Structure 1
Amino acid sequence: MNKNNEHPTLLHRFLHWEESTPDSIYLTQPLADGSLVDYRWREVGDQARRMAAYLQALDLPPKSSIGIFGKNTAHWIIADLAIWLAGHISVPLYSTANADTVRYVLEHAEVRLLFVGRLDGDAAGWNAVSAAIPGDLPLVDLPMSACGKGESWERIVAAVAPLQDVTRPAPGDLATIIYTSGSTGNPKGVMHSFGAMFNAPAVTGCMYAGGQGTCSSDRLLSYLPLAHTAERAVVEAVSLYSGCRVFFNLGLETFSEDLRRARPTIFLSMPRLWGKFYQSINERIPPAAQQAAFADPVEGELMKAQILSALGLDQVHTGLSGSAPLPVKVMEWYRQLGLELLEGYGMSENFGTSHFSLPGQVRVGYVGAAIPGVESRIGEDNEILVKSPAQMLGYYKQPELTAESYTADGLFRTGDRGELDEQGRLRITGRVKELFKTAKGKYVAPVPIEAKLGNHPRVEASCVTGVGLAQPLALVNLFPDTRAMLGTAEGRDAVATELEVFLAELNAQFESHEQLGCLVVVAEPWSIANGLLTPTLKIRRNLIEERFHDKLEDWAENGRKVIFE
């Protein structure tokens, strides 16, 4: 009998696993000294119940907002469970958030207590934002936290008895407020119910293991921010729904080791990391040698298995990619290895539950058809409209914006433009408001051009711009190994020649008004730290355009096809 129907929220599912499989390992946390700590469902429940009792003893108003500020750890998820068990609402904050964002979220969400975990730079990371945190806000330091200003998680759970009479929420109750990273303005607080968070893994089973769904034997590696919808949906929600094991990544330096330890069966990543894996193998085994080996049935299968094993991906039955288009070469390489990467499309507002490619139905450049249970159509201005079983309750404290975001019949206005093929698969063609007009009065959609720029192995990210210029141009961020080549005249000339040939091939694919006048290689890499990328590594278009605004006209009139800033 499927007990999922008896437990309508992820918290009900957690209580089920705590009772039925208490000795199975749920969370595996690596420590700085190289050791590991395994937390079984029983232990997770015990700590979460003790912290929930502590929260209740503070006598906060019912359904108070409780913040979680830190990198992914086992105790991030345990804190989330404790908040729910105590009857409160969790409010995640990105560990990379700056002081202004932290101040805004804490004030806007009326956060009553803040769990503080690991931050970038640890103590330095805390010092960078501490002035934005009200002095009277209660703090609890999670294990591994470098804050040192709050109550200790360990001391609390050692001193407080576990809560027995835990809150069992209704599906319609508010579970969490997820603040979108956003590329402009203040982040919006997306309110999600317990029902929506449960529905997401319930209806997306078709994506996993060739349609078989997820199960308790699956393994996940948590390394993308849990403060973002994608990781929350694929790691936290799936693990609680199906009772599977979650391994954590300690940091960039240990990523390869952590990935090989986890040997995940489900792996969610972004095009940038899928591409880095591809490049790392190409550096060790030249592509020509790979293709020669692949042509031999016996040697080819052996090499493919060795490559996937070296990456820690040999057990993956479902590889997921999102946030930006996958370069075609990268997708085809993984397919040769026997791992078909599935691209998808979702938003914070529908808990990532919208469209996804299915095995054997992948079309390059498309993000798949609507997931069963999702209603979708193309509206005016080719805007993608979606109604999802995991749709948000609305934007926190913004009823007018919430109302504006829906059609009369209840479909969410995504703000993305798209088109459908004959099988109902969706292609993203840009943002409704990102079209810009050149000096010739022609409109240009930057996203499709940026997607094709991303197919070049040297291009890490790009931003197509050109308001008021005769022709659009592209600002280009190169991969580190290519940037290293620019240190010599010979290397720079080689890169320039290669990019100029690529530009000519690229322009041949577009209408005359869409063709790029030049490629500008920027000097400083775009990053989260300098504010030009969001925490999910999307470009902050408005800030990039603002930074380079005064130079665009000179570059456009320069006459060269490849310009180095």
Structure 2
Amino acid sequence: MNAVTSPTTSLDCLEYWANTTPDKVYLTQPFPDGSTIDITWKQVADQVARMAAHLRSLNLPAQSNIALLGKNSAHWILADLAIWAAGHVSVPMYPTLNGDTAAYILEHSDAKLMFLGKMDGKVDSWNDVKNVIPDDLPIISLPMSPRNDTPAWDGIIASTAPEPLHYPQPDDLATIVYTSGSTGRPKGVMHDFKSILSVASGLKQLFPVTNEDRMLSYLPLAHVAERAAVETLSLFFGVHLYFANSLDTFQEDLQRARPTLFFSVPRLWTKFYLAINDKLPPKKQKLLFNIPIINRVVKKKVLTQLGLQHCRAALTGAAPLPPEIIAWYRGLGLELLEVYGMSENFGYSHANPPGKARVGTVGVPNPGVEQRIGDGGEVLVRSPGQMTGYFKNPEKTREDLTDDGFLKTGDMGEVDADGYLRITGRVKDLFKTSKGKYVVPVPIENRFNHPKLEVVCIAGANQPQPCALLLLSDEAREEMRSPEARALLEKELAEVLKEVNASSEPHESLAFAVVVKDPWTMENGMLTPTMKIKRNVIENHYTDRMDNWYAERKPIVWE
């Protein structure tokens, strides 16, 4: 079976699979003690019906906004479905939000209740967020919740009889997705049920997916990328969905899932790439990959080590990935396809078609999507997945949409003769040097490549020339304890700097590159929950050191 035939909401998908394949496992959840549980489609439908009945018994106002906080888990998806089945609206919250932003979202969204899921205060922000949850906000704890003083999912399910589900209309508000806040306060993006399903019905025309496929859910479900590419697709196509337990067990979780479809973001694709390079240096790879017969064995071994030996299609999105890394994965036999979308169109915008991908582009418009280039080179998109607007912010809604309904993406781009879109930067990322020249950072960042670099950020607003801030991989930072390794890397980075400048316009030539000392993380506010750099935060962090670095007049500076 390929997919539900004509669903209007995600709940129709749940009903279809619960009726046609009731005993097939839908969700597999690992626990910290090493155990796992399988939940069938029939059990999912039963638990959702029981929780929805409980929510209705609370007599909340119709279409109340209900917060959903926690790391990815089977019960995160069950709670999302139960909220809809009770006639309410889900408001997902990133598990890495700081307390201030969490408090803002709870207040701004008028949340009437919270589902609290998997949190432990170790690699999430529970220790900060727990102090800002209003005392009068009702909480229902999912399995692995840090609270044991609230009504719990399992107890409610055991004591509540199932009732018929509430089936919303396609135009009903389904969810309010708060943006990751890379440029300020997060905005509440409103999506109805038809915009959510658009991504699945569109993919059906692009790529064959069946209920025999497997996926691993580990990127934040609070973000539309995972919500669209994993939650929605799994419901629509009946895909078996596995979850990751923790960062420490990620390899084990991957091996358990053996995903046939895999979605990740550039920072993690880069981490995987660097980890392999650390174990099998690029020079040795090149040698082995060029030996007949042996090359197939080595490549399969590398994919097996990554847990992707069964993967027939892999997606990357949310930010650019250097073409060299895409080519490396393709060289292994993994078709890595760049896709493009935003919170405002539920991630449904562009994709590279299988077998027709063009490296360096985000592909062509998905079925039903229109594109054009507007003033200043800004990419404008009109999509079936388009938001109904920003919650409580009609002014911003009007500002971000053209008169004929195209979304102003804030991205700059170029479209080739065949309709493939190349993203060239963010409109707001442009900055001026002290000479009054504009610098577009993203293309320069994409050219500054070295096997030991994890992230590059081009900075230098109001300075004579731009500069590069370089974050090394974890392994490389350890290696730099050795003076010899540091001297060698400095020499290599100076060569990269020289090559980048040779292909840059004079006003975009980099004065120097700084190897920064401390990592950029979600916890210190330098990365969004989807691991994109918060450019303004990073630049502000190093502002007071810039003048001294420029004064040193060295090609490579060590912080």
Q: Under a length normalisation based on structure 1, what TM-score does the superposition of the two structures give?
A: 0.96
Q: Which residue number in structure 2 is paired with residue 36 of structure 1?
A: 36
Q: Which residue number in structure 2 is paired with residue 236 of structure 1?
A: 231
Among 275, 283, 296, the residue aligned to 1:301:
296
Whether 1:202 and 2:186 are equivalent positions in the alignment is no
Whether 1:493 and 2:493 are equivalent positions in the alignment is no
Q: Which residue number in structure 2 is paired with residue 54 of structure 1?
A: 54
Q: Structure 2 CA distance, aligned partners of 1:292 and 1:502?
A: 23
Q: Structure 2 CA distance, aligned partners of 1:381 and 1:4?
A: 42
**CA shift for structure 1 position 504:** 0.1
**CA shift for structure 1 position 283:** 3.1
Supply the AA of the counterpart residue of 2:114: L
- Kindly provide the CA deviation profile for residues 74-121 of structure 1, in whole angstroms up to 9, marking residues without a partner as x: 000000010011000000000111111111111111111101111242
Q: Provide structure 2 residue ranges, at least 5 long, that are not aligned to the other structure.
A: none
Q: Percent identity?
A: 51
Query: Aligned to 2:112, what secondary structure does the other structure show?
Result: strand
Q: Is the 8 A contact 2:177 2:190 kept in 1?
A: yes
Q: Which residue number in structure 2 is paired with residue 45 of structure 1?
A: 45
Q: How does 1:363-442 map to 2 (within 5 A)?
A: 363-442=358-437
Supply the AA of the counterpart residue of 2:357: V
Q: How does 1:205-354 map to 2 (within 5 A)?
A: 205-206=204-205, 211-354=206-349
Bigger mean CA offset, 123-132 vs 307-316: 123-132
Q: Which residue number in structure 1 is paired with residue 10 of structure 2?
A: 10
**CA shift for structure 1 position 124:** 8.8
**CA shift for structure 1 position 154:** 1.2
Q: Structure 2 CA distance, aligned partners of 1:287 and 1:242?
A: 39
Among 529, 533, 541, the residue aligned to 2:535:
541
**CA shift for structure 1 position 163:** 1.8
Q: Structure 2 CA distance, aligned partners of 1:368 and 1:92?
A: 29
Supply the AA of the counterpart residue of 1:117: G
Q: Which residue number in structure 2 is paired with residue 185 of structure 1?
A: 184
Query: Aligned to 2:303, what secondary structure does the other structure show?
Result: helix
How many equivalent pairs are there? 559
- Kindly provide the CA deviation profile for residues 533-556 of structure 1, in whole angstroms up to 9, marking residues without a partner as x: 111111111111111112212212
**CA shift for structure 1 position 383:** 0.4
Q: Structure 2 CA distance, aligned partners of 1:120 and 1:349?
A: 31
Q: Which residue number in structure 2 is paired with residue 169 of structure 1?
A: 168
Q: Is the 8 A contact 2:271 2:473 kept in 1?
A: no
**CA shift for structure 1 position 244:** 1.0
Whether 1:506 and 2:500 are equivalent positions in the alignment is yes
**CA shift for structure 1 position 299:** 2.2
Supply the AA of the counterpart residue of 1:552: M
Q: Provide structure 1 residue ranges, at least 5 long, that are not aligned to the other structure.
A: none
Q: Structure 2 CA distance, aligned partners of 1:434 and 1:408?
A: 25
- Kindly provide the CA deviation profile for residues 341-362 of structure 1, in whole angstroms up to 9, marking residues without a partner as x: 1011110000111111122322
Q: Structure 2 CA distance, aligned partners of 1:285 and 1:489?
A: 22
Q: Which residue number in structure 1 is paired with residue 461 of structure 2?
A: 467
- Kindly provide the CA deviation profile for residues 455-500 of structure 1, in whole angstroms up to 9, marking residues without a partner as x: 3222211221212211111111111122123223322222211111
Q: Under a length normalisation based on structure 2, what TM-score does the superposition of the two structures give?
A: 0.97
**CA shift for structure 1 position 54:** 0.7
Q: Is the 8 A contact 1:122 1:147 kept in 2?
A: no
Query: Aligned to 1:163, what secondary structure does the other structure show?
Result: coil
Query: Aligned to 2:353, what secondary structure does the other structure show?
Result: coil
Query: Aligned to 1:475, what secondary structure does the other structure show?
Result: strand
Query: Aligned to 1:297, what secondary structure does the other structure show?
Result: coil
Supply the AA of the counterpart residue of 2:279: R
**CA shift for structure 1 position 5:** 4.7
Supply the AA of the counterpart residue of 1:524: D
Supply the AA of the counterpart residue of 2:464: A
Q: Which residue number in structure 1 is paired with residue 470 of structure 2?
A: 476
- Kindly provide the CA deviation profile for residues 231-258 of structure 1, in whole angstroms up to 9, marking residues without a partner as x: 0001100001111110000000100010
Q: Structure 1 CA distance, aligned partners of 2:286 and 2:428?
A: 43
**CA shift for structure 1 position 292:** 3.3
Bigger mean CA offset, 185-194 vs 282-291: 282-291
Q: Is the 8 A contact 1:96 1:120 kept in 2?
A: no
1:49/1:322 Cα in 2 relative to 1: closer, same or farther (>3 Å)? same
- Kindly provide the CA deviation profile for residues 345-383 of structure 1, in whole angstroms up to 9, marking residues without a partner as x: 110000111111122322222111111210000000000
Q: Structure 2 CA distance, aligned partners of 1:151 and 1:312?
A: 38
Q: Is the 8 A contact 2:69 2:115 kept in 1?
A: yes
Q: Which residue number in structure 1 is paired with residue 109 of structure 2?
A: 109
Supply the AA of the counterpart residue of 1:388: S
Q: Structure 2 CA distance, aligned partners of 1:179 and 1:497?
A: 44
Q: Structure 1 CA distance, aligned partners of 2:435 and 2:340?
A: 33
Supply the AA of the counterpart residue of 1:481: E
What RMSD over aligned residues (CA atoms) do the two structures have, in Å?
Answer: 1.6
Q: Which residue number in structure 2 is paired with residue 559 of structure 1?
A: 553
Q: Structure 2 CA distance, aligned partners of 1:126 and 1:522?
A: 28
Query: Aligned to 1:183, what secondary structure does the other structure show?
Result: coil
- Kindly provide the CA deviation profile for residues 47-86 of structure 1, in whole angstroms up to 9, marking residues without a partner as x: 1111111100000000000111000000000000100110
Supply the AA of the counterpart residue of 2:140: V
Q: Structure 1 CA distance, aligned partners of 2:418 and 2:507?
A: 31
Q: Structure 2 CA distance, aligned partners of 1:123 and 1:212?
A: 35
**CA shift for structure 1 position 217:** 0.8
1:154/1:258 Cα in 2 relative to 1: closer, same or farther (>3 Å)? same
**CA shift for structure 1 position 2:** 8.4
Q: Is the 8 A contact 1:323 1:538 kept in 2?
A: yes
Q: Which residue number in structure 1 is paired with residue 100 of structure 2?
A: 100
Among 445, 450, 459, the residue aligned to 2:445:
450
1:218/1:124 Cα in 2 relative to 1: closer, same or farther (>3 Å)? closer
**CA shift for structure 1 position 275:** 2.3
